Amino acid sequence: ASYRNASLVRRGIFRWSPNSMYVFGFFALWIPVFLFQSMAALVVAAFSHAYIWVHYYATEKPDMKRIYGSPSPD
């Protein structure tokens, strides 16, 4: 596939963090927690936050190693 020859993106938000989606992207999940002071939103945000990191370490990081030949930057 053509993506195997492409380099990792280092522009835009990826200038500040190689894993921008995981560092900045899902913080939007926490907005309702603080905005509405909701316990239900806290539970959902905490579960989603943990679930996204499990996905990263179990799926995406090994895929990056397989595709690009080196571990993805942490």
Task: Report pLDDT digits (tens) over 10-56.
Answer: 888 888 887 787 778 788 899 999 999 999 999 999 999 899 889 98
Q: Residue 21: helix, strand or coil by DSSP?
A: helix
- Domain with 51 in it: 2-68
Instruction: List the helix and strand counts (H, then E) for the chain.
Output: 4, 0
Q: Is residue 74 part of a domain?
A: no
Q: Is residue 36 part of a domain?
A: yes
Q: Is residue 54 part of a domain?
A: yes
Q: Is residue 20 part of a domain?
A: yes
| pLDDT band, residue 67 (cuts 50/70/90) | confident
Across the range 51-71, mean pLDDT stands at 85
Q: Is residue 73 part of a domain?
A: no
Number of domains into which the chain is organized: 1
* pTM of the predicted model over 0.75: no
**Top-confidence residue, 53 or 3:** 53
CA–CA gap between residue 57 and residue 48 (Å, rounded): 14
Tell me what pLDDT residue 74 has.
Answer: 55
